[in-house]
Each structure stands twice: as C-alpha cells, then as structure tokens.
Structure 1
C-alpha cells in the first residue's frame, strides 16, 4: 500500500489541508464533552440558566464548525482518491503498452483488465475510508484517552485493559482474512477470463452447442467466488459483535466504578458524564479501525497485484547507446536466429538465416506450427531472439529504438484487428496526416474501395468493435490498406490473404507488387498460389529452414515444398 500511496505526491497540498480540517473537526468533537461537563457542574447543579444558554450556544457553534471541517475534508478526500485512481490507471496502461508479448503471455489479458479496473476501484474506496476514518480515528483515540485521563486517572485503567483486547482481536481476524482476499482477486480474474472467452467466442460456443457447458463452467467459477466471499464474511462477522460487547462492558464498568467514586466524593457528575462520552469516542474510533480492516485486506491484495504490474520491467527495452549508422533502407537479415517461448520444451525456430533486399518479395511457407508467424514477429521486436541477430537496415533490431524500428514496418497481422471508429480513422491509424488521395489509393490497391463505396457513409461509415460488421475478407483488405497508407520501407503480411477468394487474391497481389516495387515485402502464407510468384520462397519445417529458392527451384530441390504443393495443386496445375 505504501508504494501505491507514493503516487499521491501531486496532492500533497490537498492532503495537508485534509489533515488540518480533520484535526480541527476532532478537536471540536473532543471539546464538546468538556463543555457538557461544565454545563452539568456549573449550570444544572447550580441552577444557573444563563450559563446553560451561553455554554449551549458555544457548543452549537463548535459543533457547526466541526461539521464544516468534516464536509471540506470529505470533499478534498474524494478528489484525492479519484485522482489516485486516475494516476494508477495511467501508469498501468503506460506500463502495459510497453510490455513485450512475453509479459502479456505471462499475465494474461483478463487479469490485466481486472487490475486496471476492479483492483484500482478497491484502492480508491479504501483511500476514501482512510482519509475519513483512519486519520480521524487515531486522533480521536489519542485525544480521547488524554481527555479521559484528564477527567479521572483511575477510571482510565478500564480503557488500558479494554484497548489491548480489542487490538488483539482485530489482529487475529485480519491475519486470517488477508490471504483469503488474495484468493478472491484471483477467482475474480477467473470469472473475467471465462466471461471474456464467452463474449469473444460466442459463435464457436453456439456452433458446437456448448452453451450449457459454458453456463456450468461460469456457475462453477461464480460459486467458487461466492463461497470464498461467504467464508471471509463469516470471519469478519466476529469483529462487530465482539466490538459491541467490549464497548458495552466498558460503559457498564465506567458507570459502576464512576458511581462509586461519586459516592466517595472523588469525582463529580459532570466529569463522569464527560468520561463516558470520551470512552465512547475512543471505542467508536476503534470501531472505525474495524471498518477499515474489513476493507484493507482486500485493498492490500489489490495493491500487491497493481505493484506487480508496475514493478515488472519490460523484457524489450530501447538501447541506451546511440544508434549505429544505417545501411541500405529496407534490408532485412536473419543471422542464425533461434527463439524459444518461455516455458516451451523446444525452440519455435532454430538457426534460421536469410536476407531480404528492397524491391524483392520473399514468401515464407510451411506447415502448421512450423514457426512462420514466430519468425516475422521477431522483425518488429514483438519478441527478442534468444540467439543470433535480426537486422533491419543493417542494424541489430536490439540496437534500434522500438518506435523508429516500427515506423519502418507496415505490419498486417494474421488476425485482422480493426478499431471502433470510421473506415477513414482506421486507415489513418499508422499515418494520421495522410491525404485523401493516399487513403483512396491504398484502398484501391487493397481491393477495398468497391465495398467501402457501397457502405452507407463510405469512408465515414462506422465500424463496430473489432470490425464485427464486416466480413473476414473485408477486414483483411482494410488491414492491408492501413499498412499501405503508411508507405513503410518494409511490408510484413502474416497470412493476410487467407480470407480472400482466389480472384481477389490475384488482383490484390498484382496491384501490391506494382505499388511496392521499391519496398521490401515479406509474405507468410498457407496457399501455394499466393507465394508462387515471389522472388524467393523460404520453406520452414519444425522451426528450421528446409529450403530457399524460387517456386521452380524448390520443386526440384525441397521435398517439404513438393509435399505442400502436391497437397494443394493438381498435376495439371503443377505442369
């Protein structure tokens, strides 16, 4: 929690003001029983009506001042807690944006969403309670003990016995609750994961008639979370009755022993009434602590999870040394590159070497799981190679700032991903200042202009989340157009033509070849028809290069390529 609250530095002035107003409020609350004691001793006992009215008006004034201080402190506290939430959300978002794919794989998207939303809400809630209760409670407790001691030293021994008992009970309960609240957050992650999978995979779930199965899976996770909450609440339920029991026992003891002292003349009635009030204030301040401890364990678990994200250093960072001089623009080279996913038993790719020059189209083909997508993910540094070097423009990508590296690349991912907004906004995603002519030219090359013109508002038509109101082929063509708008040195197409029919595929590749004559083009594909015309074809088999050459060369020299071609083309087409 302390690490989290270091983010409150911008609100230092507000926190100081809160402390001042809370101090004034506590002082007013502590002064009221003394005034009441004076009314009893100097007003009621002596039948001095004027003194009663005068002191009563003064009490009203002090009480009103306390209320104003409490309202101002509450308002400032709300601003501080909400501001803290904003700072934490921004910090988590910026940190996550800098994560490599390895960190995403490690945390998982569902838990990152939970930590950015639910966990921060827990921190905000407990921060408001800390400001309103935890600061006020110790001031009231210490001040109340001092005032009670001032009223009667002997009766203070009752508080000296009761307070340690209360503190011990609070400690025992919270020590059991903190680990369980950590389980609560993990189980909440599980529910978010299942819900996210159901929302994104609803078509598959319905297609396979697995709705009842998913309902049962969610019900199991939901019941697990509910049972854990019930277990926590059963433990926490012990606190309040114990608090009330001890408070009532303290009140009875104070009145019992106080009446004895009044009988012997060692104490007056006003002092006893004031002492009872101070004892109640002390007890209620501890009750505030109890209410805090109901929330703090869960907030502590949330804080630990937030700190885990904030303290995770991205695996891929920009170099500190100055960037070396670039060689030929658009030049890509792999030198004995090996890469293994964390936790995997064997390398995804191993000892891969090849080079691609500007003006060339290089295709990568291979069976499922051969490492095609893994290979091209190393070019924009989504992952870093474990061994060997990946060079762009003759520079090791690890020696190049990530922003500069990725500005050189137009990347079209395997799964087309569009964003909520207009078609025009999506096409400008890589180049916001692109002209209208550039946008329309890119759409023409990507064979997207025809279906865009048929949409209700053309380029101003709105796309739903993830482009759900488009077909798979339409999304792929817009993704390709988005990369073309950028006019990069290097184009990387990761199986980006799979949803296109053969006619559209052929037209797009012909237009693409003409439009990217001076650029480096790398195409990952499953279809032989897509790669046949490439200047160079790299065949991958179980993470290793099985052959490099043109279509005709590989048919003669590479058995793996012949098998792929034979599985897709007839003998007439081969001839």
Structure 2
C-alpha cells in the first residue's frame, strides 16, 4: 500500500493498530501451548503426577481460551479496518471524480472508473485486512516457534534455518511468476465491464437489429480471455500446496529421525518431540500464510496503481483564492478563442472565434456535423478551458469565477439528455433542490412537459427508471429543459435539445422563453432552421470557424451555407406539401 492510499485509513487507524497487537498475543498463546503439552507428557505422565497434569491442563485450557479470544478480536478488528478502509477509498475516489473536468474524465473510461470502485477496491480491502492480520502473525510465529525449537534441539533449529529460506524463496518465486497474469486480468475487466455497460445501455438497439448473437459472442470472447488469464495464474499458484505438503512431510520425517534418535539415547523426551513437530507445522503454515498474503498483495498492487492514478489526477480546473462568486449578467464574449481537446499543439476544434453576445439575446447556432457547435457552448460554463484567447461572462474571464457560482448561472441542456432514477419531481429539482411543487410544475409548463406528465397515473410522482427509458426522447428533452429552467439562470444553453419534439411544441417552448425569461441569454443549437429563425442573431459554424453572424434575413443574403440549409429545409418542405 502506498502513502496516497493509506491516507484513506483515517478513523480506522485504531482498529488497524489493535488487530496486529491482538494477533501477536494470539501467537504467543499458540507458541506456549505446545510447551505445556510437552511438560504434561514428559513430567506429569512420566512421573504419574495427576495433580501436576490437572494443574498444567487448566493452564493449557486458559491459554487456548485466551488464544481463541485474541484471534476472534483480531479478526473483528481487521474486518472493521478493512471494510472501513474500502469505504473511505470509495468515498475519496467518488469525491475526486466530482472535481474532474470533462478533460480529466476523458482520461478514464466509465467502465474503468467502475472497475476501480468495485473490483480494485475489493482486492485492496482483502490485501489490507490480511496484511494487518497475517503479516503480523506469520513472522512472529516463525521467530517464536524457531526460538522454542532451539530450546529443545539445536539440530532441529539448524534444519529450520535451511528449510525456512529455501521454502520461502520457492513460494515467493511461484507468486512472482503468477503476478503478471493477475495484472493483465484487471485491464481486461475494464473491457469486460465496458462491453456489459454498452450492451445494457443499448439493449433496444441490439434487439432492434437482432444482434443478440453477435453481442453474446463478443462478450464470450472477452470473458474467455479473462478466464484464460485467471487459469494461467491459478495453475502457477496451485504449486504452492504440493510444494508445502512435500516440504512438510520431508521435515516431519527428518524430525522423527532426529527425535527418535534423541529419545533412544535419552537426550529428548516424547513430549518434546511432539512439541517440535507442532512448531514445525506452525512454521510451515506461517510460510504458507506469507506466500498467500504475498500473492494477494501482488494482485492488489495492480489495483493500487490504478486507484492511485485516479486519486493523484490533478483536476484541470481549480478555483482561484480570490475567485469571483457573482455573475453580473448574461453577456458573453469570445475573444479570439482557439481550442483543442489535446491542448497546445493539438488539432484545433475552434479557430479564432471572436464573438459578442449581449445579455438577454436569443442566439441560434447552426452548422454541419462536426462543425464544433457543442464545443463552442461547452466553453461558456467552463466544461473545458480555452487553448488560446479567453471567454468572458458578465465581463469577467470564466477562469476567474468560482466554478460552482459560474455553473449555477449557466444552465445547460446537453445534447445527450440524462434523467436519473427517481420521481419526476426528484429529477426536475436537480435545478433547485428546495423548489416547491408549484415551481416545478410551472417550469414544466414553460417546457411544454406539464401535459404529458399529468397523463401519467402518478403524475409528477411517476418513477423514472435508470436512463429515463420509460419516457420518449421528446419527453426526456422537455423534462431536461424544465430542470434547466428551474435554476433561473442568467444564461440558458440548449444543445440540440428540441430535436425530438415536433415543430409546434418547439415553437411553444421558444414563445415561453421570450415571454417568461426575457432577461436570460438563450443560446439554441439546432439542425432545424425553424428552431432558430426568429433568433436575435444566428451564428453559422463550419469546421470550427464562424462563417457568418446575423439575422435570418441578413444571412439569406450574405451567407451561402445558411442559404443552402434554409432552402433545403424550407423549400424542400414546401415541395413535399
């Protein structure tokens, strides 16, 4: 475990410290028990002293009970520490991801983040729990058992000095051979999870195109590869047990030979030989534990690197100490903006964008696929930072604002609409968690959502399933618009957010905007000319450049791109009629 991850132990330090202390006490009892057994056999039974046998027997029972108590207590402490550590790690990763900009999130696939918060953290939890128990237990057990063996027989103690490093080295070698295969598995887990997530999210498309067999074959291929990697690793690790068993039997045979000779010559008692055999089993068992923990730590090492990568990722956007916390109005200025998703030196998605939008204006943006319409508006709430130039809102560079304050005043309905599990009330209140039922309903009326919501049996208490799959695309868009309006923003951005509604509903939404939020700057990205025809200004984008700015009438006279789109839609519609 590295220092970055160990910071997450926090309030579970007490349990993390107590667990190994209790384990040491447990080991101490287990090491003393064979010595008492030897005394009972060699002194009590040999002399026929029943009083001595009972006395030592009582001590033996007390030691066994103490060992049981210390062992159970250590297990409980380790379980609490491990589970608490895992809980804190999940908390820290989740909170860290909330700080990420879109650029940071782009570094990690969604499936990769899910794997890190589930499988990887489980691996670390198990390794941590075993480390604070077994890594404390095994070395102490080996040392104390060897010291007790030395008390009875120097020859046997010397034998262990040969066996311990030889067996330990062999087991560690086996573990290291398996390690690379375990590392590969976690990368494949990301791919496996991504395949499952993609298939579930797109289940309707899969069924519509009857591609179930293809998806099953794809999943089977990835799953089989994960199985192959795990099988290779487990086959290597499987050598642990036979090597241990072989070593144990060889050691016991040698002990019997040495001990038997000692008993014949009267230099060793039967009880002492019994104790030495128990100590041998304790030493070999402890070596097995060390190897097992070593394998777990190596598996967790790959998980540790993956989680550390997330925790040490520096959020691209940081609030300044003197960040501005109030947005004056909805004025927007693009001052010779260049932008590349790859940063400086990358291919530019936006090129020398120079633009001035006055507060309260309605702005339409139109352009072909890939013309960077969404990229342009994502710079306003600072979802990405400009590569060159600056974007100003309310006369202040967006980089000088407190991020929360800025995004509170820039309400954005993204191209891909997302609803969350919960009621319609719950989803709309993402815009304002303290909004009353009446405010929610009013915003739904403005977004032309009130009508269909009231048709549901439960109305606004209707449960939205994961992903909003129990409402249509147009209904989802209108609910997302209502959610954005509830924030009462100074700037409202609709990124092609009315594409799934009919033209009449689209017109009613725009009419509500004009009448109800006249002072809010409204930016509407659309593919339909009719959605932006009445805007104060229309911006024509092509290949990341502004090719024209003006009203619909002005652009029809001066801009070939706009005229072509307008004629293909308006005149094409008339021909159809």
TM range (shorter): over 0.9
CA contact (8 A) 2:145 2:282 kept: yes
> Residue in 2 aligned with 1:42?
43
**CA offsets 1:107-128 (integer angstroms, 9 cap, x no match):** 1100100101111111122223
CA 1:187/1:326 → structure 2, altered by over 3 Å: closer, same or farther?
Answer: closer
Q: Distance in 2 between matches of 1:82 and 1:558?
A: 64
Task: After superposing the two structures, state which structure 1 stretch, 533-542 or 310-319, moved more.
Answer: 310-319
Provide the aligned C-alpha RMSD in A. 1.8
> Residue in 2 aligned with 1:259?
260
Which secondary structure does the structure 2 equivalent of 1:538 belong to?
Answer: strand
Any unmatched runs of 5+ in structure 2? Answer: none
Q: Distance in 2 between matches of 1:104 and 1:572?
A: 42
CA contact (8 A) 1:326 1:394 kept: no
Q: Distance in 2 between matches of 1:508 and 1:306?
A: 45
CA contact (8 A) 2:327 2:405 kept: no
> Residue in 2 aligned with 1:28?
29
Q: Distance in 1 between matches of 2:573 and 2:158?
A: 104
Distance apart, 1:259 and its partner CA:
2.0
> Residue in 2 aligned with 1:184?
185
Distance apart, 1:154 and its partner CA:
2.2
CA 1:360/1:6 → structure 2, altered by over 3 Å: closer, same or farther?
Answer: closer
Distance apart, 1:345 and its partner CA:
6.0
**CA offsets 1:192-230 (integer angstroms, 9 cap, x no match):** 011111001112222222221111111110110000011
Q: Could you tell me the TM-score, scaled by structure 1's length?
A: 0.96
CA contact (8 A) 1:326 1:395 kept: no
Q: Distance in 2 between matches of 1:354 and 1:9?
A: 50
Q: Could you tell me the TM-score, scaled by structure 2's length?
A: 0.96
Distance apart, 1:291 and its partner CA:
2.2
Does residue 289 of the first structure (1) align with residue 290 of the second (2)? Answer: yes
Any unmatched runs of 5+ in structure 1? Answer: none
Which secondary structure does the structure 2 equivalent of 1:521 belong to?
Answer: strand
Distance apart, 1:262 and its partner CA:
3.1
Does residue 403 of the first structure (1) align with residue 407 of the second (2)? Answer: no
> Residue in 1 aligned with 2:57?
56
Does residue 484 of the first structure (1) align with residue 485 of the second (2)? Answer: yes
> Residue in 2 aligned with 1:558?
559
CA 1:451/1:37 → structure 2, altered by over 3 Å: closer, same or farther?
Answer: same
Q: Distance in 1 between matches of 2:63 and 2:335?
A: 80
CA 1:325/1:394 → structure 2, altered by over 3 Å: closer, same or farther?
Answer: farther
Distance apart, 1:384 and its partner CA:
1.0
CA contact (8 A) 1:152 1:271 kept: no
CA 1:106/1:16 → structure 2, altered by over 3 Å: closer, same or farther?
Answer: closer
CA contact (8 A) 1:326 1:393 kept: no
> Residue in 2 aligned with 1:141?
142
> Residue in 1 aligned with 2:337?
337
Which secondary structure does the structure 2 equivalent of 1:323 belong to?
Answer: coil
Provide the aligned length of Structure 1 versus Structure 2. Answer: 573
Which secondary structure does the structure 2 equivalent of 1:45 belong to?
Answer: helix
> Residue in 2 aligned with 1:314?
315
Which secondary structure does the structure 1 equivalent of 2:363 belong to?
Answer: strand
Q: Distance in 1 between matches of 2:557 and 2:530?
A: 18
CA contact (8 A) 1:177 1:297 kept: no
CA 1:433/1:326 → structure 2, altered by over 3 Å: closer, same or farther?
Answer: closer
Q: Distance in 1 between matches of 2:496 and 2:572?
A: 25
Which secondary structure does the structure 1 equivalent of 2:310 belong to?
Answer: helix
CA contact (8 A) 2:13 2:81 kept: no
Distance apart, 1:74 and its partner CA:
0.9
Distance apart, 1:572 and its partner CA:
8.9
**CA offsets 1:541-565 (integer angstroms, 9 cap, x no match):** 0111010111011111111111211
Does residue 493 of the first structure (1) align with residue 484 of the second (2)? Answer: no
CA contact (8 A) 1:74 1:132 kept: yes
Distance apart, 1:388 and its partner CA:
1.0
Distance apart, 1:325 and its partner CA:
9.1
Q: Distance in 2 between matches of 1:121 and 1:326?
A: 43
Which secondary structure does the structure 2 equivalent of 1:293 belong to?
Answer: helix
> Residue in 1 aligned with 2:452?
451
Which secondary structure does the structure 1 equivalent of 2:155 belong to?
Answer: coil
CA 1:288/1:572 → structure 2, altered by over 3 Å: closer, same or farther?
Answer: closer
> Residue in 2 aligned with 1:374?
375
> Residue in 2 aligned with 1:2?
2
Q: Distance in 2 between matches of 1:135 and 1:20?
A: 8
CA contact (8 A) 2:506 2:531 kept: yes
1:200-211 equivalence runs, <5 A: 200-211=201-212
